[in-house]
Amino acid sequence: MTFKSTTATKIKNNLGDYLIEAAQKKHPVVIEKYGRPYAVLVGFQTWQEMTGKLPRHSLPWIEACQKLSEEIQRTHRKKQTSAIRLIQELRHED
């Protein structure tokens, strides 16, 4: 999933453009405050997917990550991590 990053000021001045980016193009927008990620603007459908409001079969990548997390737990006896948290941690390793 690709995403854009911008400042809160740019969001305020160009909200319509960023709403199109998030909702129609399905590219979440990371909103920065003082140079650090502060919030994320996502389309409604993306939010529903992330919060589990859609049927699970519509989220195959989350299910795959959850299975991987469960396998890691079984193999290494580590604390189980949610699929979404695992993805967030992997993205921050770059």
Measure CA 51 to chain center. 10
Q: In terms of domains, do 25 and 68 share one? A: no
Q: What angle do the packed helices 60-76 and 83-91 form, to 10 degrees?
A: 90
- Domain harbouring 8, CATH code: 3.40.1620.10
Domain of residue 86 covers 57-93
pLDDT at 5 over 70: yes
For position 15, what pLDDT does the model report? 92
Q: In terms of domains, do 40 and 6 share one? A: yes
For position 35, what pLDDT does the model report? 86
Q: In terms of domains, do 85 and 45 share one? A: no
pLDDT at 72 over 70: no
Beta partners for residue 5, in sequence order: 30
Q: In terms of domains, do 71 and 42 share one? A: no
Q: In terms of domains, do 6 and 49 share one? A: yes
Q: In terms of domains, do 44 and 76 share one? A: no
pTM: 0.52
Residue-wise pLDDT for 75-86, tens only, equals: 666 555 566 776
Burial class (CB in 10 A: 0-12, 13-18, 19+), 44: exposed
Residue-wise pLDDT for 7-52, tens only, equals: 999 999 999 999 998 888 888 899 998 888 889 999 888 888 787 7
Which residues neighbour 49 within 8 Å (Cβ) at sequence distance 6 or greater? 58, 59, 62
Q: In terms of domains, do 61 and 29 share one? A: no
Distance between CA atoms of residues 67 and 81, nearest Å:
11
Q: In terms of domains, do 31 and 74 share one? A: no
